[in-house]
Amino acid sequence: MHGSCILSRVILLPQIARCGADFGVERDMRGFSIGNVTLKNHMVLGPMAGVTDLPFRLLCKEQGAGLVYTEMISAKGIYYHNKNTEKLWESREEERPLALQLFGSEPQLMGEMAEKIQDRDFDILDINMGCPVPKVVNNGEGSALMRTPELAAAIVREVSSRISKPVTVKFRKGFDGDHVNAVDFARRMEESGAAALAVHGRTREEYYGGKADWEIIARVKEAVSIPVIASGDIFTPEDALRCERETGCDGIMLARGVRGNPWLFHQIHYYREHGVLEEKPSIETVLAMILRHGKMMVSFKGELMAMREMRKHVAWYTAGYPHSAEIRRQVNEVNTYHDLEMLCERAGEHFRLKEKPSFRK
Ligand X SMILES: Cc1cc2nc3c(=O)[nH]c(=O)nc-3n(C[C@H](O)[C@H](O)[C@H](O)COP(=O)(O)O)c2cc1C
Question: Is 19 assigned a catalytic role?
Answer: no
Residues 103 and 128: beta-carbon distance below 8 Å: yes
Residue 318, burial from CB neighbour count under 10 angstroms (0-12, 13-18, 19+): buried
Question: CA–CA separation, 295 vs 307, rounded Å?
Answer: 10
Question: CA–CA separation, 308 vs 55, rounded Å?
Answer: 15
Site for ligand X in 279-338 (CB under 6 A): none
Q: Binding ligand X by CB under 6 A: which of 216, 255, 334, 347?
A: 255
Question: CB under 6 A: which stretch of 159-167, 225-233, 291-299, 349-357 binds ligand X?
Answer: 225-233
- The alpha-carbon radius of gyration of the chain (Å, integer) is 21
Q: Binding ligand X by CB under 6 A: which of 76, 200, 221, 350?
A: 200
> Min. distance of Cβ 108 from ligand X in angstroms?
22
Question: Angle at Cα 278 formed by Cα 248 and Cα 328, nearest 5°?
Answer: 100
Q: Binding ligand X by CB under 6 A: which of 15, 208, 246, 357?
A: 208
> Min. distance of Cβ 101 from ligand X in angstroms?
6
CA proximity to 130, closest of 215, 76, 66, 69: 69
Q: Binding ligand X by CB under 6 A: which of 61, 76, 170, 313?
A: 170
Question: CB under 6 A: which stretch of 14-22, 31-39, 42-50, 299-307 binds ligand X?
Answer: 42-50
Residues 189 and 176: beta-carbon distance below 8 Å: no
Question: Which of the following is catalytic: 5, 19, 60, 131?
Answer: 131
Q: Binding ligand X by CB under 6 A: which of 55, 64, 66, 130?
A: 130
Residues 334 and 344: beta-carbon distance below 8 Å: no
> Min. distance of Cβ 199 from ligand X in angstroms?
9
Q: Contact between 101 and ligand X (CB under 6 A)?
A: yes
Q: Contact between 132 and ligand X (CB under 6 A)?
A: no
Q: Contact between 47 and ligand X (CB under 6 A)?
A: yes
Q: Contact between 104 and ligand X (CB under 6 A)?
A: no
CA proximity to 260, closest of 314, 332, 187: 314
Question: CA–CA separation, 74 vs 123, rounded Å?
Answer: 18
Q: Binding ligand X by CB under 6 A: which of 71, 190, 326, 341?
A: 71
Q: Are strands 37-38 and 33-34 parallel, antiparallel or unpaired?
A: antiparallel
Q: Binding ligand X by CB under 6 A: which of 41, 128, 299, 318?
A: 128
Helical residues (DSSP H) of 224-361, grouped into ranges: 237-247, 264-274, 283-301, 303-318, 324-331, 337-353
Distance of alpha carbon 39 from its chain centroid, rounded? 16
Q: Contact between 49 and ligand X (CB under 6 A)?
A: yes
> Min. distance of Cβ 198 from ligand X in angstroms?
7
311 three-state secondary structure:
helix
Q: Binding ligand X by CB under 6 A: which of 64, 232, 251, 294?
A: 232
Site for ligand X in 256-285 (CB under 6 A): 256-257
Q: Contact between 206 and ligand X (CB under 6 A)?
A: no
Closer residue to ligand X (CB): 72 or 152 = 72
Binding site residues, ligand X, CB under 6 A? 46-51, 71-72, 101, 128, 130-131, 170, 200, 208, 212, 231-234, 255-257
The catalytic residues are 131
